[in-house]
Structure 1
Amino acid sequence: MPSVVIKYVQIVEAINYRLGRVVMYVIFAMIGVLLWSSISKTFFLPSLWTLETAQFLMVAYYILGGPYSMQLGSNVRMDLFYGEWTPRQKAWVDAFTIFFLIFFLGVLLWGGINSTAYSLEYAERSPTAWRPYMWPIKIVMIVGIFLMLLQATVEFLRDIARIRGLTL
């Protein structure tokens, strides 16, 4: 494989690996927020911000952790036929089906960018009592979708290498 491709794969995987390792600890922040929510509802006045903050943290955890999960190969596959195939057959099928993922992520990214632009332009707020701005979580979603798109291209390049009998 060309050195540019190898460097691209190394850079994307390094970014997704490091970010994934950091984001995995967001679950503890979410636990803390939900714990505070339970405590405040029981002993004090209920907090307005806890539910939405927990939701935003979960979105960040899920969206930013997706590329790391894909990199580790921990995504779910239908193993009815796939498990019996040779690595080369798997690479052919993966190289074909990754285009559907790339198309989906491209549409999602395009919609996310438009939604974020709207959010920034009109200072969109959540319709809840707390009323946080929506643009920060939308930016997190755009970054996560973009990184997932980059990781999908890396997986495609890996499949091409496997088809050619190479490792990447």
Structure 2
Amino acid sequence: MTRLIRLIDSFTRLTGQCVRWFALLMVLSTCAVVALRYLFDMPSIALQETVMYLHASLFMLGAAYTWQQGGHVRVDVFYRTWTPARRYLVERAGILLLVLPTCLFLIWASWDYVGNAWAIRERSQEASGLPLVYLLKTLIVALPVTILLQGLAELLRTFVSADTALAENTHD
């Protein structure tokens, strides 16, 4: 079980470390858009769309990494005073009742939409836009898949952590 957790965590970490560079690329691309437009009077739709693609990729592919790193908002008013056993129970319930069903629904609901974009190799509606709209739409499926994987790792971690805490308590 810990091997699977480590494997998923490694995948999520690698994804997050790659995707975080999109923020820098997004800033540089935005600067280029502004410079081309206002200094050289040469607007670039493809470059503007690149900023949009980077922005979408950063958030859609970085969500699982943010969860793994504890970066999502959590209401700790009650949670911090609870025992580890109660925290694990709440964590499991949240993953099983909220995260997993939501991810599965998103995959189910978007599958045909994304598949159709791939079938026609959907392109930008702008003549000078990027011909990769189908890849952008793939992020709609990639988000719940990565969250689902990290959710599985977090769920398994509650069992491993609970077993470790129980073993430590029996030795005291």
State the TM-score, normalizing by the size of structure 1. Answer: 0.86
The 8 Å contact of residues 33 and 43 in structure 2, kept in 1 or not, is answered as: yes
Q: Does 1:31 align with 2:30?
A: no
- Larger gyration radius, structure 1 or structure 2: 2
Residue 4 of structure 2: aligned partner:
8
Give per-residue Cα distances to partners, 1:31-71, cap 9 Å, x unaligned: 11100111011112211123321111011111111111111
The letter of the residue matching 1:23 is V
The letter of the residue matching 1:74 is G
Q: Report how far residue 123 of structure 1 moved.
A: 3.0
Residue 49 of structure 1: aligned partner:
46
Distance in structure 1 (CA, Å) of the matches to 2:54 and 2:22 = 7
Aligned length: 163
The 8 Å contact of residues 92 and 163 in structure 1, kept in 2 or not, is answered as: no
Gaps of 5+ in 2: 167-172
Q: Report how far residue 164 of structure 1 moved.
A: 3.6
Gaps of 5+ in 1: none
Q: Secondary structure at the match of 1:101?
A: helix
Distance in structure 1 (CA, Å) of the matches to 2:102 and 2:126 = 30
Q: CA RMSD in A?
A: 2.0
Q: Does 1:77 align with 2:74?
A: yes
The 8 Å contact of residues 125 and 134 in structure 1, kept in 2 or not, is answered as: yes
Residue 152 of structure 1: aligned partner:
151
Distance in structure 1 (CA, Å) of the matches to 2:49 and 2:89 = 42
Distance in structure 2 (CA, Å) of the matches to 1:128 and 1:96 = 46
What pairs up with 1:1-168 in 2 under 5 angstroms?
Answer: 5-44=1-40, 45-99=42-96, 100-128=98-126, 130-132=128-130, 133-166=132-165
Q: Report how far residue 158 of structure 1 moved.
A: 1.2
Give per-residue Cα distances to partners, 1:2-40, cap 9 Å, x unaligned: xxx222111111111112112111111101110011101
State the TM-score, normalizing by the size of structure 2. Answer: 0.84
Give me the identity figure in percent.
23
